[in-house]
């Protein structure tokens, strides 16, 4: 009898791998019936990491969005699954254990069935609580392996991780091939090993199509015993996203597997609606290069989904690198030359930083280090002259064990700076915080919401949640959309006055906090509260302590980084500058009281 292979539509990750934003709740509700009518999906990925942050960024309540989005699938008997980052949960940096536990309770109450949990370092210790909390909340625990290709990421290496995850009680294993660089034959052997040793464990494969291996990988893992495959639909399939369900369904059918038929009328409706959402506003944040596959990803192993942000970062550094090269009598580099240099530098940096799988946030750390190396070398400085504090946290073991050894030069650099390596459990470094956030809710007069879901949002994404509640998030989003439409030559519907710098009405903050002192940008450039431009959640929140004369942020200029230095010590009471936004000299970016 033919063995059945089931499909999961990764509708969340389709958008996440294409651009910055996800569809609004009203759009998701419109497309859900058509997805159901396709008749070929047993699962749909509905929410999780990044999805709920971007809801807040454009001024929408993510809790309401998740509830209305999952409801129609439940009614149709289709399971929903989310993505969470283990120790980092739904954000880019570590989360206290009590907030992590509340997350699973909230998501289960909101209608999410399966928690796909991954650690970017494959440190099983970071996943133990995810497995336990998911099952305690009544969810299916699916622990994910972050797949990459390196001398240390062998079948034996991954099976050791699986052994611990099974001991913790996970129900399923996902092979999360986020860059699509897993070699098909190796993935097939890994699935076979899992199925042989743990025959009752469900195995799901998730592979991006960027470097071109994914279709072969899907066939190999299916033949080896995988139960579910993650797929996409046009117009957001292929490229650096995921293979399309039509191709994969036909491939498996020809190989003798039992697969569900696809209602093509419904497929075309999903395709049409998705394109409508792109045309509405989402396409303004989608980089056209993400629609293309590239074999250049095979060597560097970077996930295709970060190509857009990487190119934006590279363009931001291009002028500074070229200025340094010109001063040294070297020829200037065009963007394509710099891209190849960056890929090569990632290949150099990655093994020396211990082969962290190139997945969020560690792909950003490796890419940032490589980018700063290019800048340093253009100035005649040695590699690793500039490493940001988050990358140091990874190097020192604060986020988990690195898969491979650090290069001696990195170890010596850490010692020269007086840094100490951490060997304990990363979670122990982050004490519980829910009582603090519950008190904040009371002080603000905010309701904690059904199942404490509003409390959870504040605790998980404090700055974005405050901006959402104040209305600043929607104002910023509408302004950004107006700017992008203007650049694209699209007609603009003006919902409020558009003014030149400064972009936001800072007068309201000056009136609200009369004793506060403004913090101004020291130069024209890109505002970086943290060096990683894409990590919007690391901007300071009201209450953040700052010290007079000490940098609280930076501006990336064409010639390097300029420090943002407050004139007085105190606490930030308002933030008016957005991470990654272009600012002008003297623009107010925060207020300190």
pLDDT-flagged residues of the chain (< 70): 304-313, 316, 490-512, 514, 531-539, 558-561
Query: In 100-225, at which residue ranges do the beta strands (DSSP E only) sit?
Result: 114-118, 140-146, 172-177, 202-207
- Beta-strand pair 41-48/6-9: parallel
Q: Model's pTM, two decimal places?
A: 0.82
Q: Is residue 441 part of a domain?
A: no
DSSP 3: P
What is the rounded distance in angstroms from the CA atom of residue 261 to the CA atom of residue 9?
14
Q: How many domains in the chain?
A: 3
- Examine the fold and report which residue of 238, 257, 286 is the final residue of a domain before the chain moves on: 286
Residues 6+ apart with CB under 8 A from 214: 177, 180, 207, 208, 242, 243
Structure tokens at 116: 């796909």
CA neighbor of 237 nearest in space, from 228, 255, 249? 249
Sheet with 517-520, strands from edge to edge, namely 517-520, 588-592, 570-575, 545-546
Q: Is residue 140 part of a domain?
A: yes
Q: Are residues 262 and 332 in the same domain?
A: no
Task: Please report the pLDDT score of residue 305 as a whole number.
Answer: 58
Q: Is residue 347 part of a domain?
A: yes
Distances (CA, A) of 302 to 60, 147, 307, 441: 31, 12, 8, 40
CA neighbor of 53 nearest in space, from 424, 473, 439? 473
Q: Are residues 117 and 216 in the same domain?
A: yes
Task: Please report the pLDDT score of residue 219 as a whole number.
Answer: 98
Q: Are residues 263 and 380 in the same domain?
A: no
pLDDT digits (tens, 9 = 90+) for 127-150: 999 999 999 999 999 999 999 999
Task: Please report the pLDDT score of residue 5 as a whole number.
Answer: 98
Indicate which CATH number applies to the domain containing 87: 3.20.20.70
- Examine the fold and report which residue of 427, 458, 484 is the final residue of a domain before the chain moves on: 427
**528 forms bridges with which residues in the sheet?**
554
Q: Is residue 464 part of a domain?
A: no
Q: Are residues 247 and 389 in the same domain?
A: no
Contact 401, 121 (CB under 8 A): yes
Q: Are residues 180 and 75 in the same domain?
A: yes
Q: Are residues 137 and 225 in the same domain?
A: yes
pLDDT digits (tens, 9 = 90+) for 540-555: 777 788 887 788 888 8
Q: Is residue 463 part of a domain?
A: no
Q: Are residues 220 and 103 in the same domain?
A: yes
Task: Please report the pLDDT score of residue 493 as a whole number.
Answer: 42
Q: Are residues 405 and 531 in the same domain?
A: no
Q: Is residue 437 part of a domain?
A: no
CA neighbor of 84 nearest in space, from 54, 110, 47, 109? 47
The residue segments making up the domain with residue 300 are 294-427
- Examine the fold and report which residue of 257, 286, 315 is the final residue of a domain before the chain moves on: 286
Q: Is residue 488 part of a domain?
A: no
Task: Please report the pLDDT score of residue 588 as a whole number.
Answer: 81
Instruction: Using CA atoms of 208, 209, 210, 213 in order, give the dihedral in degrees to the nearest 10.
Output: 110
Contact 455, 441 (CB under 8 A): yes
Q: Are residues 273 and 301 in the same domain?
A: no
Q: Are residues 150 and 272 in the same domain?
A: yes
Q: Are residues 256 and 272 in the same domain?
A: yes
Indicate which CATH number applies to the domain containing 506: 2.40.50.100
Q: Are residues 369 and 517 in the same domain?
A: no
Contact 42, 76 (CB under 8 A): no
Q: Is residue 478 part of a domain?
A: no
What is the rounded distance in angstroms from the CA atom of residue 218 to the CA atom of residue 275?
26
């Amino acid at each position: 009898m033919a063995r059945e292979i089931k499909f999961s539509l990764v509708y969340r990750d389709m958008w996440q791998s294409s651009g910055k934003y996800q569809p609004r709740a009203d759009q998701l509700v419109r497309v859900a019936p058509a997805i159901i009518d396709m008749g070929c999906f047993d699962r749909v990925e509905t929410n999780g990491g990044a999805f709920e942050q971007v809801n807040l960024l454009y001024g929408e309540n993510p809790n309401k969005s998740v509830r209305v989005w999952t409801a129609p699938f439940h009614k149709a008997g289709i399971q929903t699954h989310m993505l969470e980052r283990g120790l980092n949960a739904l954000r880019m940096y570590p989360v206290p254990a009590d907030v992590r536990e509340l997350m699973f309770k909230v998501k289960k109450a909101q209608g999410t069935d399966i928690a796909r949990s991954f650690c970017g370092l494959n440190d099983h210790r970071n996943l133990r609580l995810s497995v336990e909390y998911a099952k305690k909340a009544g969810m299916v625990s699916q622990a994910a392996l972050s797949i990459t290709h390196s001398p240390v990421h062998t079948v034996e290496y991954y099976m050791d991780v699986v052994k611990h995850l099974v001991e913790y009680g996970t129900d399923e294993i996902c092979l999360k091939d986020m860059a699509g660089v897993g070699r098909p034959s190796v993935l097939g052997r890994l699935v076979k090993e899992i199925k042989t040793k743990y025959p009752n464990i469900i195995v799901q494969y998730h592979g991006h199509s960027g470097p071109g291996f994914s279709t072969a990988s899907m066939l190999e893992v299916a033949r080896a015993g995988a139960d579910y495959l993650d797929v996409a639909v046009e117009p957001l399939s292929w490229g650096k996203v995921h293979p399309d369900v039509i191709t994969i369904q036909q491939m498996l059918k020809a190989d003798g597997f039992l697969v569900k038929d696809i209602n093509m009328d419904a497929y075309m409706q999903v395709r049409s609606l998705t394109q409508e959402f792109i045309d509405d506003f989402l396409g303004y944040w989608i980089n056209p290069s993400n629609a293309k596959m590239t074999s250049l990803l095979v060597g560097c192993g970077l996930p295709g989904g970060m190509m857009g942000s990487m190119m934006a970062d590279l363009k931001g550094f291009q002028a500074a690198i070229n200025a340094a090269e010109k001063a040294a009598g070297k020829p200037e580099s065009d963007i394509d030359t710099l891209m190849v240099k960056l890929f090569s530098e990632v290949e150099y940096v990655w093994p020396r930083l211990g082969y962290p799988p190139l997945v969020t946030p560690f792909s950003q750390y490796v890419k940032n280090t490589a980018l700063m190396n290019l800048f340093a070398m253009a100035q005649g400085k040695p590699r690793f002259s500039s490493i940001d504090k988050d990358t140091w946290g990874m190097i020192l073991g604060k986020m988990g064990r690195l898969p491979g050894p650090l290069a001696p030069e990195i170890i010596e650099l850490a010692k020269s700076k007086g840094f100490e390596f951490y060997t304990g459990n990363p979670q122990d470094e982050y004490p519980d915080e829910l009582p603090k956030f519950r008190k904040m809710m009371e002080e603000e007069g905010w309701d904690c919401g059904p199942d404490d879901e509003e409390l959870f949002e504040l605790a998980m994404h404090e700055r974005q949640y405050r901006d959402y509640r104040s209305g600043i998030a929607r104002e910023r989003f509408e302004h950004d959309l107006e700017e992008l439409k203007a650049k694209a030559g699209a007609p603009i519907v003006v919902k409020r006055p558009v003014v030149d710098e400064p972009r936001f009405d800072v007068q309201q903050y000056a009136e609200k906090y009369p004793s506060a002192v403004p913090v101004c940008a020291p130069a024209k450039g890109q505002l970086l509260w943290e060096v990683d431009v894409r990590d919007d959640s690391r901007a300071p929140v009201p209450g953040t302590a700052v010290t007079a004369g000490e940098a609280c942020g930076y501006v990336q200029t064409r010639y390097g980084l300029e420090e943002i230095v407050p004139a007085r010590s105190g606490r930030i009471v308002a933030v008016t500058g957005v991470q990654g936004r272009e600012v002008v000299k003297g623009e107010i970016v925060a207020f300190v009281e």
